[in-house]
């Protein structure tokens, strides 16, 4: 199926395209359909914001739309930055300033108290008002400094828990390289897709999508959390 991806974030778009292709779908960017818009994200949760974005873009373009709202929750900070992840520093999308603020707020906090998780809500919205939302998470911790040049956002300071030895991920594929003590930004695209919060949400959505598309009695469905990790880790 072909979707319109409701995002202006180039890094997020690249991940969505990559994961959709793996799941047998395709997508077009807002630029490719000549739609220039920033949707106000005023929901109280990741799931609400993903639905708001998908619904509005679907309304404007009249095509099946997929949107992601994701963010970082840090235990020591009582879940901050949460839904304000992209604008934690006060300016939307300033990755460096967001990372600076988070590291500053965790200054002096030992590793065992720096637990965190990335959360993703991915919503597919169809013309006519039906939608399906899947949730994904990846647990880890916040490091003490930036490491790596891949990825975007908080990737250089987030270290995932589920890494390492060969095993079966939620994609049914092996992960063979050792990624222990590496940040998201030090992982290859394949390594990150095996364990990431967004990949987990997309895979959960993919498993339910065909049934949802054919069962018109299902109007709005929000799936429980899925974690994409290597078995036994």
Residue in the structure block whose two tokens are 């739609």: 35
Q: Is the peptide bond before 139 cis (omega within 30 degrees of 0)?
A: no
Tokens of 173: 């594929």
* Backbone phi, psi, residue 142, to 5°: -95, 125
* Backbone phi, psi, residue 215, to 5°: -105, 90
Compute the distance between CA of residue 178 and CA of residue 225 in angstroms, rounded to an integer.
26
Of residues 69, 155, 181, 215, which has the active-site annotation? 69
Residue 75 appears among annotated catalytic residues: no
Count of H-run helices and E-run strands, the chain: 5, 7
Residue 42 CB-density burial (10 A; 0-12 exposed, 13-18 middle, 19+ buried):
exposed
- Which residues are known to be catalytic? 69
């Amino acid at each position: 199926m072909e979707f319109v991806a409701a995002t202006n974030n180039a890094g997020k778009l690249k991940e969505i395209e990559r994961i959709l292709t793996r799941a047998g779908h395709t997508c077009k960017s807002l630029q490719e359909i000549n739609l220039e818009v920033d949707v106000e994200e005023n929901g109280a949760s990741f799931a609400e914001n993903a639905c708001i974005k998908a619904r509005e873009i679907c309304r404007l373009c009249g095509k099946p739309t997929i949107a992601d709202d994701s963010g970082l929750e840090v235990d020591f900070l009582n879940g901050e930055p949460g839904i304000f992840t992209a604008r934690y520093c006060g300016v939307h999308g300033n990755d460096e300033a967001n990372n600076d603020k988070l590291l500053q707020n965790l200054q002096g906090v030992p590793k065992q108290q720096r637990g965190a998780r990335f959360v993703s809500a991915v919503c597919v919205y169809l013309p006519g008002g039906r939608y399906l939302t899947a949730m994904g998470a990846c647990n880890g911790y916040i490091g003490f400094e930036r490491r790596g040049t891949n990825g975007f956002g908080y990737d250089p300071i987030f270290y995932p828990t589920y890494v390492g030895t060969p095993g079966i991920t939620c994609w049914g594929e092996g992960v063979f390289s050792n990624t222990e003590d590496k940040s998201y930004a030090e992982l290859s695209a394949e390594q990150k897709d095996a364990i990431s919060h967004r990949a987990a949400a997309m895979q959960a959505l993919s498993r339910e999508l065909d049934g949802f598309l054919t069962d018109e009695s299902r109007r709005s469905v929000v799936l429980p959390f899925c974690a994409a990790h290597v078995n036994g880790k």
